[in-house]
Homo-oligomer: A and B are copies of this chain.
């Protein structure tokens, strides 16, 4: 079998104004590099697609530097070592890294996690046992501090973060209400994941339905979308409510602020009157030392069937941009992963 000689990659060609378009990416083909001493060559098998990538396409101030024009798009990857001149990696090892939208990547080993060659369920490390699961776990437990009997609301409830947030909250004895897009997702969230209710945000009377599903108000709103879900949550917040914020996907494509009135003073006054805590977090920046503890606990829950998850695996490197556009529109159903190549 002749070895593949070339590697494809998507680079950022231009910055989007509003919704990203195909023209914002450029597909390039380059020669596969060869590792020097101390280096290894990684072959991407799975690429994680996540909403935060939209932020990296813009040069507006954010929590991480933007992808530069002409640079490979970023992203978490599960790869196998193709060849190695690094003492800690041997061909065939699974490696968790951050190589982005490309088929092959050279590395000096820094920042990689070597998972050995016997990995049973690799994709889980990009979802329920990876960044999204870790985000759900720390944001809910450390900032949200759920207590039995409290009411939790989380949007994107069938997604990689929301599904785990709600299930952990159920394990902690909360009344859990999800928000998702469409009947099928809502059915899954209630029947498969065990949420107490799930409201379809496409419903015309969405806010009324949410209020009805939260008769005791809302004690924890895990914020991963913003926009109209937060608008509907605001009047339902209880005294001492906690709002961990890990994302505001509803804002990512916005090109300016919405029309008035200016509700900033309203939010500020509400935080005071109801003694609310709102806190943003960036998972690996804030909680990296807790990862191993998370992995152990979450693996146990998954093995016991206490935390269920769903993956939406799209085949083919060339389909990355379309899958990413769909993610921003909520078209995926479960953690979105690209299978770039065979295991």
- CB-CB < 8 A to A258: which residues of B? 260-262, 265
Which B residue's beta carbon lies closest to that of A272? B280
| Nearest CB on B from A90, distance (A) | 38
- CB-CB < 8 A to A248: which residues of B? 265, 268-269, 272
Q: A303 contacts the other chain (Cβ, under 8 Å)? A: no
Distance of A256 Cα from B269 Cα, bound (Å): 12
Q: A257 contacts the other chain (Cβ, under 8 Å)? A: yes
* The stretch of A6-14, A148-156, A239-247 that contacts the partner chain: A239-247
* The stretch of A182-190, A281-289, A290-298, A330-338 that contacts the partner chain: A281-289
Distance of A245 Cα from B268 Cα, bound (Å): 8
Distance of A27 Cα from B130 Cα, bound (Å): 67
| Nearest CB on B from A211, distance (A) | 15
| Nearest CB on B from A24, distance (A) | 21
Chain A: residues with Cβ within 8 Å of the partner, total of 42
| Nearest CB on B from A3, distance (A) | 43
Most buried by B among A61, A63, A262, A282: A262
* Contact (Cβ within 8 A) A272 B246: yes
- CB-CB < 8 A to A121: which residues of B? none
Can you sample 10 A-B contacts with CB below 8 Å? A63-B239, A230-B268, A259-B262, A264-B266, A271-B278, A275-B281, A275-B286, A276-B278, A277-B279, A279-B279
